[in-house]
Structure 1
Amino acid sequence: MIGIEEKQLAILVDKAINEMLSEDQAKLFSYTKKINHPNIYSFLQLAGDRKLTRSFWSSNSNDVTILGAGQAVTIQAEGQRFRSIENDWNELLKRATIHNPFEKQGTGIVGLGGFAFDPKKESTHLWRNFPAGQLTIPQVMVTIVDNQCYLTFNMYLHTNDHGFQLMEEYKELESYLLGESNFLKQDINMIEKKEVNPQQWMHTVQKATEEMKTSITNKIVLAREIRLRFDKRADIPSIIRKLLETQSNSYIFAYEIDGDCFVGATPERLVKVEGNKLFSTCLAGTAPRGKTTKEDQKIAEDLFTDPKNRKEHDYVVQMIRKAVERYCTNVDIPSEPQVYIYKTLQHLYTPVTAKLMNSNSIFSIIEELHPTPALGGTPREESMSFIRNNERLDRGWYGAPIGWLDSNNNGEFAVAIRSAMIQGTEASLFAGCGIVSDSDPVSEYEETNIKLMPMLSVLGG
């Protein structure tokens, strides 16, 4: 039985369909309303049970959490991926009908997704379902912002659709996803761990140090992979729950395509935009946590004064400054970093704030910043060329921008590190580190082990 609200919505949908008749073009219809807080794990589990594609995002300050189920529209790109997706996104919004009286961050039409680290490198079977760039606008989306909860549903309308029929289908889906699923956290046990060519990776590190002694290249970031096998199929809602419990000051993300799920807990923001306000982060230089407060403080002091880590961090600061100044005014970057403490690691951290100039978008900033020296190296072209020709790993979306943007000119993208590609009963985990001319391959290998810990512990390692 359709209620008063659904009847009113059906009328709005029919009005949007009638407006399309003269245009002869499909369009997106989006409606947002306030709801009580649902069980987010139940929502994700029920979406998975119905084979709906799932998306998840939680910012490191917990100010925005987004859950997506299903695909109303998917935007993909291969070549000029940032500009192509920006153009398609803008065209989609031009034709869309949006009913959103709240206009809070992450409400209205929201695209969630990400990009490949280097589309010029040939993709392998591991990333077969993940294109060079993709944004998904979910059918049903829950946004938690400012301690309030909003439900948005999106429909891609065609001229032969009927409002009341669509409302019946939507009401059934909403009732199902917001129902209780008796969600139980399912732990998985790792039964096999395989390091992918560690000796070869250390040999590549040595080769990179030799390259830097005879070239203009100052830093090359090299990543490696480990493969895990579990005793049963990995449960994505349980993994997200564990990440939220253990990595609370990181960005938690999950993005699913055709059953494969890229999931992670990254400390590194690439860019955040609120209207014309821009925020970015310089994060480079890593050390472990101590076992005691005194040991923690000593490690933090050593990290802050270590020449290699300070040099690596400064590369990132200077590059981000140059990129942001090209598109922004009022750029504010502190002269020295601070040590930011996470659950298992410590990092050198410098915040960046600025005002975005007119006509520039979050895509402009992403294209200018990616990859930062923290994930590629410096100079960019030379370091990327070395990675492309020598690194055996297919990074896919690892180390690349992942996040969201909305129809209210807000958005946030993080750098997808501390991450894993989950495929049923198997997973690939990734970690990298910045190589400079005096890097020691064994020490760099140990640093990647430290960086693998957050995801490894969540996945039963």
Structure 2
Amino acid sequence: MSGHVFSQQINELKEKLIKLKQTPVIEPIVQLSADAPSVPVLSWLGSQVIYPKIYWHGRDKIEEVAAIGSCKDFFFEDQIDDDSLAELYQNQRGKSHGQDIRYYGGLAFDRSVECWGEFGRARFVLPRIEIRRNGNTIRILLNLNFDNTCPQQECEDALAALMQIQRATPLSPPKKLALMGRSDLPNYPRWQELVEQVTQQQFNKTTPKVVLSRQTQLEVDDIIDPWTLLACWQGRNPNSFQFGFQFSKNKAFISCSPERLYLRRQQELYTEALAGTTIRGLNQEEDQCLAQQLLDDTKNSHENQLVRQHIVESLASLSQYVGAEEVPKIFKLNHIQHLHRDIRAQLKMGVSDFDLLKALHPTPAVGGLPRFSALNFIRQREGYARGWYAGACGYLNHYESEFSVAIRSALIEPRRINLFAGAGIVAGSDPQAEWQELENKLATIMSILIDF
């Protein structure tokens, strides 16, 4: 470890481990920490050899986290109901009073159908080691799970993980890939059929909105480093959430998503309606003109209003107060801009994160309205398993939890990348225009990846 940037912190944590072994009474979940020097967090994560690898970067840019390993892993490959998930988490939460204990993970878009193997329908991990940057402060956190484990062995496992920490080396330089093949599911003819079905007057009366999506599978000529790709992506869309989960060497899910599902700080809840899309302009004047057209567009305004209304109604029974912006604003990304409304709530005492996840996920911005009939249509007709695309990804904590909706995301496999995009289909939607919206949403990631 001589010369390692974290040598001092690793020795400090080793000393704390030795003291912990001598403690007669130990909480089931314990977290040790050490202040650390600045390090490029994403480069550090890419250099590590322990899985899983987890990355989280909040949209406000104040906090950035890289985590490796696992000392507790809730993995649900088969169907599980939200009440059982909530009970498990509440039970786990009671095993520590540590304010910084976090479980990172996600829920699939549709937990009633089979998901992507190791990602499961839901999976949450208490990492073994975290590098957490908050502003200019960096800490190394070491988590230990003494619940139903041998304390001596748990300390040895934690020490072994510490000794496997690698120096941060620069990420591989980004390079354009040759496209060997592309397939879209659904393809355009099938997409046209689906849009026409959703916009039929009889169907639209009972289900006014369905968010249809597409999986674009690209076969490429080289291995893709997920962390290099995510670093490039976040450089193009800095005002987004950036996160990634890599549970094994050959598969990673990354996202650069503009959409917050919610941020909870004790009883304060912050969420939003993000729906309605147009492109960016070539200059400031054109950009402003397109933004104004989006604000004036009946179809997009209606779509955003439906999302706002649904979220407010969903939170009503869980909250003492819910307030939402009456008029949407413009939220700008690199290639596109959205309609956006902030929503804030004061939660009732006793409302848990899983109550919120059950109420809010999947939102009408990624599923449709009413939820049951829209999801049923997607499940039966869309033609592929969304998995964690349009799912909820983030972290759970005693005092603060945050989740993003995993739109603008990619599932990376050896020499293959699966990209996802969706569009809200309402009365008056045009198949060709909505297909082009999918292309617009993939423009940023495609421009990074492919040598056209």
Which residue is 1:185 aligned to?
173
TM-score for both structures, normalised by structure 2: 0.90
AA aligned opposite 1:159? C
Q: Say yes or no: does 1:327 pair with 2:307.
A: no
The equivalent residue for 2:102 is 110
Measure the CA separation in 2 of the matches of 1:40 and 1:12.
28
In structure 1, runs of 5+ residues without a counterpart are 21-26
5 Å-filtered alignment, 1:332-371, equals: 332-371=323-362
1:67 corresponds to which residue?
66
Cα distance change on mapping 1:282 and 1:51 into 2, 3 Å: same
Q: Which residue in the other structure is 1:43 paired with?
A: 44
CA distance in structure 2 between the aligned counterparts of 1:214 and 1:339, rounded to whole angstroms: 27
Does the C-alpha gap of structure 1 residues 121 and 170 become closer, same or farther in structure 2, counting only changes over 3 Å? closer
Matches of 2:367 and 2:175 in 1, distance apart?
Answer: 34
CA distance in 2, matches of 1:323, 1:68: 33
In the superposition, relative to structure 1, how do residues 214 and 72 fare at CA in structure 2: closer, same or farther (>3 Å)?
closer
Matches within 5 A, 1:8-157: 8-15=16-23, 19=26, 27-47=28-48, 50-77=49-76, 78-96=78-96, 98=98, 103=99, 108-123=100-115, 127-157=116-146
Q: 1:114 to 1:190 in 2, by over 3 A?
A: farther
1:180-259 map, 5 Å: 180-192=168-180, 193-196=182-185, 197-210=187-200, 212-213=202-203, 215-258=205-248, 259=250
Change (3 A) 1:292 1:9: same
Tell me how far 1:211 sits from its aligned partner.
Answer: 6.2
CA distance in 2, matches of 1:19, 1:32: 16
Q: C-alpha offsets along residues 213-247 of structure 1, whole Å, 9 cap, x if unaligned?
A: 56411111111111112221111221121122111
Deviates more, 1:234-243 or 1:277-286: 234-243
Secondary structure of the residue aligned to 1:95 is coil
Mapping 1:313-324, distance limit 5 Å: 313-324=304-315
Note closer, same or farther for the CA distance 1:431–1:180 as it changes in structure 2 (3 Å cut): closer
User: What CA distance in whole angstroms lies between the structure 1 residues aligned with 2:366 and 2:154?
Assistant: 48
CA offset at residue 316 of structure 1? 0.3
Residue 164 of structure 1: CA displacement?
6.7
Distance 1:42 1:387 in 2: 38
Q: Which amino acid aligns with 2:306?
A: Y
183-192 vs 60-69, greater mean Cα deviation:
183-192
CA distance in structure 2 between the partners assigned to 1:253 and 1:288 by the alignment: 24
Q: Secondary structure at the match of 2:389?
A: coil
SS at match of 1:119: coil
Cα shift at 1:109: 1.7
Deviation at 1:81, TM superposition (A): 4.3
Q: What SS does the corresponding residue of 1:439 show, helix, strand or coil?
A: coil
Match of 1:291 in 2: 282
Aligned-residue offset at 1:43 = 1.5
**Percent of aligned pairs with the same amino acid:** 26
The number of residue pairs the alignment matches comes to 437
Match of 1:430 among 401, 420, 424: 420
Matched residues in 2 for 1:182 and 1:369: separation? 39
Shift in CA distance, 160/149, structure 1 to aligned 2, threshold 3 Å: closer
CA apart distance, 1:162: 5.3
Q: Which runs of 5+ in 2 are unaligned?
A: 2-9
Give the secondary-structure state (helix, strand or coil) at the position aligned to 1:320. Answer: helix
Find the residue that maps to 1:118 and give its secondary structure: coil
Supply the distance in 1 between the matched residues of 2:413 and 2:171 (Cα, whole angstroms): 21
Q: Which amino acid aligns with 2:219?
A: R
